[in-house]
Amino acid sequence: MKRTSKILAAALVALTGIFLSPARSADPADPAASTAAIKVAAAADLQYALEDLVKEYNTKNPTATVAVTYGSSGKFFAQLQNGAPFDIFLSADIEYPQKLEAAGLTIDKIFPYAVGRVVLWAPKTTPVDVQKLGIKSLLEPAVKKIAIANPEHAPYGRASVAALKSLGIYDQVQSKFVYGENIAQTAQFAQSGAADVGFVALALAVSPKMSNVGSYWEVPFDAYPRMDQAGVILKASGHLEAARAFRDFLFSPHGIEVLKKFGFSLPEK
């Protein structure tokens, strides 16, 4: 009986130690610090760059899980206003993060991470030399449909429209537009033949999937408003330390190298 009592007492002491000991805080530098599944809502132009970065991050942090959903920044903005369960939002512009911050839905500061570039891309099947003709390609008889991201909710769509107006041919080509829900779908329209050419992100045009099957002309940088791309961590995130760790990884030497590789310029400090 005494032996049984001693065993029970020891067990109670052990359990008390477990429940009363302070919780270990997550350390972003510690690979084993978090097993949280970080959910990222990302602009579609980041698809290939983030695939590379997430793979590298998971290799260095084997217990971490990063799940990325790609889409239109404007649509993500609307979803996040209504409580969509994401930890990080990587927008194709800075205005949507600023609006979320103003609404009190973010934590920490907005972090500009890149500057986007717009290009006019054509598949090899389109008999127009976009590299030689530039914006005048759109006036060629062979170009009957032009893929463009929907400017109502896609920053790249707004930039493309601004460029066409700045270069003086918007009214001549507007009737040819085929709208994509985001820049990735817009690129798909141009690749698949649903459009003869398309205004896409440089980050997509230089990816192996597109660079091998077409060519592009870079729209003059001063023809459209500068596309500062920025991100935020959502206040509703249940994995703040893990989200901060992934944010910091974006600004690591490898993160910067990958963004440059996919045609992004870096924002000024």
- pLDDT score, position 5: 42
The verdict on residue 57 lying in a domain is yes
Judge whether residue 21 has pLDDT over 70: no
Beta-strand runs (E) in 17-86 = 37-43, 65-71
CB 245 within 8 A of CB 28: yes
**Count of other CB atoms within 10 angstroms of residue 53:** 23
Do 237 and 111 lie in one domain? The reply is yes
Count of structural domains within the chain: 2
**How far is the C-alpha of 227 from the C-alpha of 112, rounded, in Å?**
10
**How far is the C-alpha of 197 from the C-alpha of 148, rounded, in Å?**
9
Q: Give 36-51 pLDDT, tens digit per residue.
A: 689 999 999 999 999 9
- pLDDT score, position 30: 43
Judge whether residue 35 has pLDDT over 70: no
- pLDDT score, position 88: 98
Q: Give 178-233 pLDDT, tens digit per residue.
A: 999 999 999 999 999 999 999 999 999 999 999 999 999 999 999 999 999 999 99
Structure tokens at 155: 């920053």
What is residue 108's DSSP assignment?
Answer: E
CB 149 within 8 A of CB 179: yes
CB 142 within 8 A of CB 128: yes
Do 133 and 219 lie in one domain? The reply is yes
- pLDDT score, position 240: 94
Q: Which range of residues forms the domain containing residue 33?
A: 29-116+227-261
Greatest pairwise CA separation for the chain in angstroms? 98
Do 94 and 172 lie in one domain? The reply is no
CA dihedral 123, 127, 128, 131 (to 10 degrees): 50
- pLDDT score, position 268: 74
Lowest-confidence segment of 28-32, 44-48, 246-250 by average pLDDT: 28-32
Do 135 and 214 lie in one domain? The reply is yes
**Count of other CB atoms within 10 angstroms of residue 183:** 36
**How far is the C-alpha of 15 from the C-alpha of 166, rounded, in Å?**
70
The verdict on residue 210 lying in a domain is yes
Structure tokens at 250: 């974006």
Structure-model confidence comparison of residues 2 and 247, the more confident one: 247
**pLDDT mean over 118-129:** 97
Do 195 and 122 lie in one domain? The reply is yes
**Count of other CB atoms within 10 angstroms of residue 267:** 15
Do 175 and 234 lie in one domain? The reply is no
The verdict on residue 10 lying in a domain is no
The verdict on residue 100 lying in a domain is yes
Residue in this structure with the two tokens 């978090």, named with its chain if needed:
34
Do 104 and 127 lie in one domain? The reply is no
CATH number of residue 184's parent domain: 3.40.190.10
- pLDDT score, position 37: 86
Do 125 and 251 lie in one domain? The reply is no
- pLDDT score, position 63: 82
**How far is the C-alpha of 33 from the C-alpha of 24, rounded, in Å?**
9
- pLDDT score, position 165: 98
Do 41 and 99 lie in one domain? The reply is yes
CB 50 within 8 A of CB 201: no
Do 98 and 141 lie in one domain? The reply is no
The verdict on residue 155 lying in a domain is yes
Do 124 and 219 lie in one domain? The reply is yes
Lowest-confidence segment of 12-26, 46-60, 217-231 by average pLDDT: 12-26
The verdict on residue 173 lying in a domain is yes
Do 234 and 150 lie in one domain? The reply is no
The verdict on residue 176 lying in a domain is yes
Concatenated DSSP letters for 160-195? HHHHHHHTT-HHHHGGGEEEESSHHHHHHHHHHTSS
Judge whether residue 9 has pLDDT over 90: no
The verdict on residue 14 lying in a domain is no
Predicted TM-score of the model (pTM)? 0.83
